[in-house]
Amino acid sequence: MDTAQDALDYDQMDHAEVNRRFASDFLSASADAGISDAIEVLDLGTGTAQIPIELCRQSARLRVVAIDLSAEMLKLAAENVARAGLTDRITLELVDAKQLPFADGTFAAVVSNSIVHHIPAPEHPLAEAVRVTRPGGLLFIRDLARPRDEFSVARLVRLYAADCNERQRKLFDDSLRAALSVGEIRSIVSHLGFDRESVTATSDRHWTWSAVK
């Protein structure tokens, strides 16, 4: 999703309810983890910055460093952040999630929504996410879960992308096919030293990894 058209198609899809739920679930998880002070959050694969914008709308105590490897995504992200009046709370950086330029334990929380299926070896950005999270900090990663068969892929595309254009439907279809299963992501987090059960299926098309370091 490196082209200007890819970024625009992604940005124009209706992610509003998914984003609201992500932000609400993250804030609930951070409260459960005892993280209640003003905190700095790292957002991996921010895309057009819809997640950090929603996070900041739902909580005045957050500041977000939002990274992406797509310059085209970040161009639209900058416009979205400025339009939302959040340039003082959201910092955008062109960064590879597989090689984060931050010191160990920099962030109180690391979040990501739907980056994992874009990366051929997702264990690398997840290991980096763990590294830059401070002890006692929260990892909150959500992504699509790969459907079990062709029928399930088609059903989800019809259900959630019916009002999208053909290119947007293909983006969603491709993403579903590229996604990890719950079992696969559980295996990765286990190798990173976390409980497999910290990964749960959280909708008919998403899994979530929520864990305290």
Q: For residue 206, which phi and psi values (nearest 5 degrees)?
A: -130, 150
157 found inside a domain: no
pLDDT of 1? 54
- Chain-centre distance of CA 37, in angstroms? 22
Domain annotation covers residue 160: no
59 located within any domain: yes
Please report the pLDDT score of residue 10 as a whole number: 60
User: What CATH number does residue 88 fall under?
Assistant: 3.40.50.150
* The total number of residues written for the chain in this structure: 213
* Domains held by the chain: number: 1
Predicted pLDDT at 170:
87
Q: Would residue 33 count as lying in a domain?
A: yes
Question: What crossing angle do the helices spanning 4-12 and 71-83 adopt, rounded to 10°?
Answer: 40
Asked if residue 41 is part of any domain, the answer here is: yes
| Interatomic CA distance for residues 202 and 164, integer angstroms | 23
Q: What range does the domain containing 11 cover?
A: 4-144+181-212
pLDDT at 163: 81
Would residue 26 count as lying in a domain?
Answer: yes
Distance CA 108, CA 153 (A): 36
In a domain, 197, yes or no: yes
In this prediction, residue 120 carries a pLDDT of 86
Q: Render each residue's pLDDT in the chain as its tens digit; 213 residues.
A: 566 666 555 655 556 888 999 999 999 999 999 887 778 999 999 999 999 999 999 999 999 999 999 998 999 999 999 999 999 999 999 999 999 999 999 999 999 998 899 898 999 999 999 999 999 999 999 999 999 999 998 998 888 888 878 888 888 888 889 999 999 999 999 999 999 999 999 999 999 999 999
- List for the chain the helix, strand, coil content (%; round to 5): 45, 25, 30
At residue 14, the pLDDT reads: 53
Does a structural domain hold residue 161?
no
